[in-house]
Structure 1
Amino acid sequence: MIDIHNTAIVEEGAIIEDGVKIGPYCVIGKDVKIGKNTVVQSHVVIEGITEIGENNTIYSFASIGKASQDLKYKGEPTKTIIGNNNSIREFVTIHRGTDDRWETRIGNGNLLMAYVHVAHDVIVGDDCILANNVTLAGHVVVDSHTIIGGLTPVHQFCKIGSYSMIGGASAVNQDICPFILAEGNKAVARGLNSVGLRRRGFSDEEISRLKKVYKIVFRSGLPLKDAVAKIEQEIEKDKNVDYFLNFIKNSKRGITR
């Protein structure tokens, strides 16, 4: 059954699936689709072409799918896509895409704590934690299994690699490589995220190999091009090393070192 509070406004055309609960004073736009067993608490606004998956909880005063703050946006029919099993806490804002990617996308199993801002054309992977007041500017990509500490802004077009952790109150203006710890204003690499990797089931051998990669990139003093060449020559390849190297090679803004 669907449970919609009598003070909520659900516009004609919205698709609300079985088991959804919509609390008091919510506003759900006509182009919104909400998947099974998602709970929308009180005073939530969901607008635009927005697709929300199953088993999400959206807390009070969140705003999802509104037009971006990009002054170039002219009302194009862009989207907001949210997966399954996410927890979106109080006062989170998630803006729809622009004609860059045409959508803002959040994956599965993420926790967005209070006051997180997700700007236009952002992509967030799966199983990420964005602590209070994290601010993702437009076009940012956050790969899966990432933790970003509270009060941290991330500059537009930056990419955050998987299994990385960024300390609170940092300022990120270049790409953060996967598997590392970074913090500071501006953020710099502080070490390999060894504890996080063990918690995620990485083997000692995998972690040891990544430590060698980390030391070459961040502690050898070599120019980045030479560090990459040294890794390719000296370090045994696996999927993690390949991902690390490809992340560096494909970086548009340069990496945080």
Structure 2
Amino acid sequence: MSAGGQVHPSAIVDPSARLGEGVCVGAFTIIGPGVEIGDGTRIGPHCSIHGPTRIGRDNVIHGHAAIGGDPQDKKYAGETVRLEIGDGNVIREFTTINRGTGGGGGVTRIGDGNWLLAYTHIAHDCIVGSHCVFSNNATLAGHVEIGDHVILSGFVGIHQFCRIGKHAFIGMGAFVNGDVPPFLMVAQESYGRPRGINSEGLKRRGFDPGRTAAIKRAYRALYMSGADLAQARERLAELAGESEDVRAMLEFIDSGQRALLR
């Protein structure tokens, strides 16, 4: 450990773990072998961090978080898999984040500047972008992909292998079992269904009225026109010539393997 760090006397840190400058470790926390923690990261009490795991700099991990545990997958047979967490994330109490699986790419990856609130669960092989907010009890099954600036409200559940596009907003208690294109808002029913675009979120992130209007036109073509997916895609291709955001929606639709949430 470099100079400036503080490790509580009751914490257990494996000799092979690498702690950067200024890393603080709280009481009764366990840091296992194969763990690397970047400068300035603070870890609260009663946490467990298992490797191979790399955590970047200036993260704040609150008490009782369980980071880098084995994947909850019956096919996992002890192969070397890892977890990668970027910089500046806030990980609140009782959050659980699992490493990847050998058959799923071998890595769970989380970007920068995310807020993962209490009891969040991120399963094996998930890929989470940057600047997302996961509210209490938000849960990702395995192999889920989350774009940048996504908000998951409390008690949201995302089915395995689903993708949530950038700037999407998933409302409280929604269960999502299909791909959600960028910029959409999904509301709770028996399963979540699209309910417009995330206009307020886009406004807060500096989208001008012209950009937002183009996204609304794309949403209407995809969800309100009565067209089937192939016909809606043709209309999106027309709109994409005038809007980079619509092109992003079209690319998202074309790259998916699961059914689109409609």
Q: TM-score, normalised by structure 2?
A: 0.96
Q: 2:105 aligns with which of 101, 105, 125?
A: 101
Partner of 1:92: 95
Partner of 1:25: 28
Partner of 2:198: 193
Structure 1 residue 148 corresponds to structure 2 residue 152: yes
CA RMSD of aligned residues (A): 0.9
Hey, what's the Cα distance between the residues in 1 that align with 2:234 and 2:141?
A: 32
Structure 1 residue 228 corresponds to structure 2 residue 236: no
Partner of 2:56: 53
Hey, what's the Cα distance between the residues in 2 that align with 1:243 and 1:192?
A: 14
User: How far has the Cα of 1:231 moved from its partner?
Assistant: 2.2
User: How far has the Cα of 1:95 moved from its partner?
Assistant: 0.3
Hey, what's the Cα distance between the residues in 1 that align with 2:167 and 2:240?
A: 20
**What is the correspondence of 1:80-229 to structure 2 with a 5 Å cutoff?**
80-99=83-102, 100-184=104-188, 185-229=190-234
What is the one-letter code of the residue matched to 1:50? T
1:222–1:17 CA distance, 2 compared to 1 (3 A): same
User: How far has the Cα of 1:234 moved from its partner?
Assistant: 4.7
Hey, what's the Cα distance between the residues in 1 that align with 2:153 and 2:16?
A: 38
Q: Which runs of 5+ in 2 are unaligned?
A: none
Hey, what's the Cα distance between the residues in 2 that align with 1:211 and 1:192?
A: 7
Hey, what's the Cα distance between the residues in 2 that align with 1:163 and 1:69?
A: 29
Structure 1 residue 256 corresponds to structure 2 residue 257: no
Q: Which runs of 5+ in 1 are unaligned?
A: none
Asked whether the equivalents of residues 240 and 250 of structure 2 are also in contact (C-alpha less than 8 Å), the reply is: no
Hey, what's the Cα distance between the residues in 1 that align with 2:132 and 2:149?
A: 5
Partner of 1:69: 72
Hey, what's the Cα distance between the residues in 2 that align with 1:39 and 1:235?
A: 44
**123-132 or 234-243: which moved more?**
234-243
1:152–1:234 CA distance, 2 compared to 1 (3 A): closer
Show structure 1 runs of 4+ deviating over 4 A: none
What is the one-letter code of the residue matched to 2:44? Q
User: How far has the Cα of 1:244 moved from its partner?
Assistant: 0.2
1:235–1:25 CA distance, 2 compared to 1 (3 A): closer
User: How far has the Cα of 1:96 moved from its partner?
Assistant: 0.3
Hey, what's the Cα distance between the residues in 2 that align with 1:234 and 1:123?
A: 29
Hey, what's the Cα distance between the residues in 2 that align with 1:8 and 1:233?
A: 59
List per-residue Cα deviations over 1:3-33 (Å, max 9, x = no partner): 0000000011100010000010000011100
Asked whether the equivalents of residues 30 and 48 of structure 2 are also in contact (C-alpha less than 8 Å), the reply is: yes
Q: TM-score, normalised by structure 1?
A: 0.98
**44-53 or 236-245: which moved more?**
236-245
What is the one-letter code of the residue matched to 2:198? N
Aligned to 1:54, the other structure's residue is in SS state coil
1:235–1:73 CA distance, 2 compared to 1 (3 A): closer
What is the one-letter code of the residue matched to 1:71? K
1:112–1:234 CA distance, 2 compared to 1 (3 A): closer
